[in-house]
């Protein structure tokens, strides 16, 4: 009996959680994404300024960049892909919501 009640409670909790996530997706998720995007852009630019020589743009003397290297190594592959990824206008389409 107790386990049945527990199961029902657990299902209700999951349903409430899903409804909350759905509401979040429709309301403030965009705000969060925009802020994450802005931070990501700044980080991408920072790595370009400090480690531009990885893609052939020598900017800072290696001494300073070497001190930053341990912090940049974990993101280097994603950074290179993100920076060099081919883009076109359809990339922006995802930013226009509710158009139709």
Nearer to another protein, 1 or 87 (CB): 87
CB of 39 to another protein, least distance (A): 6
CB of 38 to another protein, least distance (A): 9
CB of 57 to another protein, least distance (A): 18
Task: Catalog residues that contact another protein under the rule CB under 8 A.
Answer: 17-19, 21-31, 33-34, 36-37, 39-41, 43-44, 78-79, 81-82, 85-100
CB of 23 to another protein, least distance (A): 7
Nearer to another protein, 33 or 67 (CB): 33
Q: For residue 83, with 0-12 CB atoms within 10 Å meaning exposed, 13-18 middle and 19 or more buried, which class applies? A: middle
Sign of CA dihedral 79, 66, 59, 36: positive
Nearer to another protein, 4 or 100 (CB): 100
CA distance 75 to 42: 14
> In b/e form, how buried is each residue of 43-80, taking b as 16+ CB within 10 angstroms?
eeeebeebbeeeeeeeeeeeeebeeeeeebeeeeeebe
């Amino acid at each position: 009996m107790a386990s049945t009640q527990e199961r029902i409670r657990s299902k209700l909790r999951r349903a409430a959680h899903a409804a909350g996530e759905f509401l979040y997706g429709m309301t403030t998720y965009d705000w969060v994404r925009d802020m994450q995007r802005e931070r990501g852009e700044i980080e991408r630019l920072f790595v370009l300024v400090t480690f531009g020589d990885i893609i052939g743009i020598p900017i800072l003397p290696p001494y300073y960049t070497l001190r930053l290297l341990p912090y940049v190594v974990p993101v280097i592959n994603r950074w290179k892909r993100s920076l060099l990824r081919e883009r076109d206008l359809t990339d922006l389409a995802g930013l226009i919501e509710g158009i139709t």
